[in-house]
Amino acid sequence: MVEENTTTTSTTKHDWFETQAVLDLKRWFQAIISSHKTLFTLLWLAAFTSAFLWQRDAVSGLVVLHGGGESLKKSESSLLYPKLRPAGFSLVDFGGVGDGVTMNTKAFERAVSEISKLGEKGGGQLNVPPGRWLTAPFNLTSHITLFLHQDAVILGVQDEKYWPLVPALPSYGYGREHPGPRYTSLIHGQNLTDVVITGHNGTINGQGQTWWTKYLQKVLNHTRGPLVQILWSSDILITNITLRDSPFWTLHPYDCKNVTIKNLTILAPVYRAPNTDGIDPGKYLLL
């Protein structure tokens, strides 16, 4: 009887040790899994925090790249406006106010005048910042880049008294809708070379609704003007912008050479927006 009890006790102890070994092994695996989850969580939090801080710096106009104890900073202007000309200007430098109400014609004219002096040095770039920039028609100059921020909108004033009259196109010899002179385009140029109109898909809006209504009511005394018109010029690039709601034809490069148009969005209603053609090209046009 003594031997039987001894054997039973020995077997019970053996089973107990096996059970403890199994429990210890489970605890060990659970600890490893828990530690890996913790490590994964920490790495995920670190990555999220880094991305958040990077985006915050980018939005504030400051990008910092760390390496070798040095940092590289970029100003807001270099991030928003690529330098395409030797000299760059902002419309606000010339008194522009992008509130959708203030007239900015003088600001555009002063900026273009300043850039016209830089032809022999490669010209200049006029950056139009975010905002709604109300203006009457203005002329471009040679060796200019008009660059629109993605949130910039150039608005054409709707009162025709602010739109100068110019001679009828030679191809017609008379006004398209009325005899005599016609209204100029919102953005105009003639006898120019090396003109670029581009941006981050900013918008030139002719606010043509008033013009369309007056035309249909037959109360206009002169032919409506296009949104963008460039005459007798060469080496023209128009790209990465939106043109919308022109009073008349939207884009009209007339008798120009070496015109390139690409990545251009043109918008106008399909009803009661008469003659808002997209592109009325002359010759030597590359689309």
> Model confidence over 147-167: pLDDT tens digits?
999 999 999 999 999 999 999
Q: Burial-class residue 41 by CB neighbours within 10 Å (0-12, 13-18, 19+).
A: exposed
Q: Which residues contact 16 (CB under 8 A, 6 or more apart)?
A: none
Runs of H (alpha helix) within 164-256: 209-216
CA 235, CA 258: separation in Å to the nearest integer?
5
CA 35, CA 11: separation in Å to the nearest integer?
36
Asked whether residue 252 carries a pLDDT value surpassing 90, the answer given is: yes
Residue 237 CA: distances (Å) to CA of 6, 51, 186: 101, 37, 18
Mean pLDDT of 45-49: 56
Report which DSSP code applies to 222. Answer: S
Q: 174-203, pLDDT tens digit by residue?
A: 667 787 899 999 999 999 999 999 999 999
Give me the pLDDT at residue 178, please.
81
pTM: 0.72
Question: What are residue 196's DSSP bridge partners?
Answer: 145, 237
Residue 235 CA: distances (Å) to CA of 33, 105, 143, 260: 66, 25, 10, 8
Task: Select 80-286's CATH number: 3.30.70.100, 2.160.20.10, 3.40.50.2300, 2.40.110.10.
Answer: 2.160.20.10
**Worst-scoring range by mean pLDDT, 20-29, 45-54, 88-97?**
45-54
Query: Would you list the domain boundaries of the chain?
Result: 1-74, 80-286
Residue bearing tokens 């002179």: 181
CA 28, CA 31: separation in Å to the nearest integer?
5
